[in-house]
Amino acid sequence: MAIDLVIVGQVRTLAAERQRVLVCLDSNHTHEHVLAELEAYAPLVTPGSYCVVFDTIIEDLPADMFPDRPWGPGNNPKTAVHEYLKTHPEFEIDKQIDHKLLISVAPDGYLKRLG
């Protein structure tokens, strides 16, 4: 599981050996899980790089698209992104990337590390 402390530790060790780190999050799509992933992995992102949170589009789709899933509007990656950003000013949403795409599953999901 992505937020298992052993896995997080292994990823931190690997990231520490790199000059530039980009993180992509795309596992369990519940608000709680994605927020935990952000807390664990976003700090690894190097300045000028990104934490990309996929499937933020769930917030913008009808609830009945996910009848057998624990996530949906109000409980998804986008809600976690917005919650995370409230206390992490070192990141901002880079809307320029989404504006270049014809189709995206990650609106508001391209978080650029500042500084």
Exposed, middle or buried: residue 98 (CB in 10 Å: 0-12, 13-18, 19+)?
Answer: middle
Mean pLDDT of 89-108: 94
pLDDT at 95: 94
CB distance 29 to 71 below 8 Å: yes
This prediction has a pTM of 0.94
Q: 26-80, pLDDT tens digit by residue?
A: 999 999 999 999 999 999 999 999 999 999 999 999 999 988 999 999 999 999 9
Domain count, the chain: 1
Buried b (16+ CB within 10 A) or exposed e, 62-96: eeeebeeeebbeebbbbbbbeebbeebeebebeee
pLDDT band at 98 (very low <50, low <70, confident <90, very high): confident
The answer as to whether 16 is a domain residue is no
> What number of other Cβ atoms are within 10 A of residue 10's Cβ?
11
Mean pLDDT of 98-106: 90
Name the percent of the chain lying above pLDDT 70.
Answer: 100
Domain boundaries, position 46: 5-9+22-63+72-113
CB distance 33 to 101 below 8 Å: no
pLDDT band at 9 (very low <50, low <70, confident <90, very high): very high
The answer as to whether 15 is a domain residue is no
The answer as to whether 84 is a domain residue is yes
CB distance 1 to 36 below 8 Å: no
Q: Does 1 have pLDDT greater than 90?
A: no
